[in-house]
Amino acid sequence: MRPDPASILIVDDEPAICDLIRDELSDCGYVCWTATDPRQARDLLGIRRFDLLITDISMPQVSGLDLLAHVKRRAPDSKVILITGRSSRDYLVQALMLGADDYVEKPFSTEDLVAVVSEALDSDGCIPKLPIRAAEAIETSLQAKQASFDGVRALARAVEAKDPYTFHHSEHVAYYAVHLAREVGLEEPLVERVRVASLLHDVGKIGVPDHILTKSERLTDEEFEFIRRHPALGADIVANITLFDREARLIRHHHEDWDGRGYPDALAGEQIPPGSRIMQAADCMDAMLMERTYKKGYPVGEVLDELVRCSGTQFAPEISEAAVRWCRRNSSKLVLPHRPLEAVA
C-alpha cells in the first residue's frame, strides 16, 4: 500500500483532455498536476518527482517521447503512460526502448484510463504488458506479413539495444538454425518458420529489468526467475500477431531440455517441437563461440565436445549429431569473434 496518494503529471496540448483526465483521477484520490505546454512539463519534471507521467505522444516542439526519455533519465522508477492516436502507433517500438509502461489510444474511456493508471502504479516487479499490447497494435495497423515481421523484429532489436552483449545474437542464431534445420532434412517452409522464430526468439527479454539483463556477475535465484520468463513472454508477444502463431510456439519452447529439465513448461523429448530443439542448439552454439565481457569465446573443438557431452540431456541427440556434423564439414562458416556473420554467410 502507498502511504500517500500517488502524484501524477498530465501533459497534453489540448486543455480539455488535461482537465478531463485530472478531474477523473482526482476523484480517485490521486494528486494531479497538468501542463498544456510540454516545455513547462519538462521544467516541472526537473524540479519534482512524480509517481506517474501521462503524456500525449504527438505535441509540438517537445514530444511525449522526449518527456519519456527525460523522466527515465532523472527518475527511472517513475511510471509513464502514453496517449496515442492511431497515426502514432509507429512510435510504440520507440516507447518500448525508452521504457514506457503502457498506453491509451484516443478516443479513450475514463474507465479504461483509470484501470491502466491503477495497474501501472501497482505493477512493481511485474512483467510489463506494453510489449504485448504493442504487438496487438502492430497487427491491426500493418497488413502485410513482412511489415508485421519488421514491426516485431524492431521489438527484438530493442533487447539488443538494452544488452550490448547480445548484439547480432539473434542473426547468428537464425544463421545456425537454418543450416541445422536443413541438415536434419526439414522442408523449406519449416526452415523459414525456424528462421523467423530464431530472429524473434529473445523478444521476451524486453520484459527483463535492465540491471538483470546486463549483469556480468552470477545471477541470484530471484534474478534468474526473470530470465526464465522470457520464452513465455516472447511467445505471448509474437502470438498476438496471428500470422506468427506457429513461430510463437517455437519461441516458447526454445529453452526446453531433452531430459525435461528446461523451461518454461519442462517438456521432454519428442514433446519439444523440432524447431525449438534446433533453436536451442543454435542459441547455445553462438553463446559459446562469442566473446563477452565476462568470458572468452570457446575454441571450436570445445564447442563440439559440449554438443556431444550434452546430447540426450540438454540437446536432442539427432540435433547434437547434426550440429557436430555440420560444424566439422563447414568450419569456415562458423561465426567467430574475428569472423563476423557477413564474412561467412
Q: In angstroms, rounded to a whole number, what is the distance separating the alpha carbons of residues 289 and 307?
A: 12
Look up residue 15 and give its three cell numbers: 486543455
Q: In angstroms, rounded to a whole number, what is the distance separating the alpha carbons of residues 282 and 198?
A: 9
| Largest CA-CA distance found in the chain, in angstroms, rounded | 70
Does the annotation mark 205 as catalytic? yes
Q: In angstroms, rounded to a whole number, what is the distance separating the alpha carbons of residues 104 and 123?
A: 17
Q: In angstroms, rounded to a whole number, what is the distance separating the alpha carbons of residues 220 and 224?
A: 6
Ramachandran sector of residue 168 (left: φ over 0; alpha: ψ -120 to 50; beta: rest)? left
Q: In angstroms, rounded to a whole number, what is the distance separating the alpha carbons of residues 133 and 244?
A: 16
For 41, the 3-state DSSP assignment is: helix
Contacts 24+ apart (CB under 8 A), 88-94: 88/57, 88/58, 89/137, 89/138, 89/141, 90/141, 91/57, 91/65, 92/130, 92/134, 92/137, 92/138, 93/134, 93/151, 93/154, 93/155, 93/158, 94/65
List 106, 205, 295, 296, catalytic entry: 205
Look up residue 285 and give its three cell numbers: 552454439
Q: In angstroms, rounded to a whole number, what is the distance separating the alpha carbons of residues 238 and 244?
A: 6
Residues annotated as part of the active site? 205
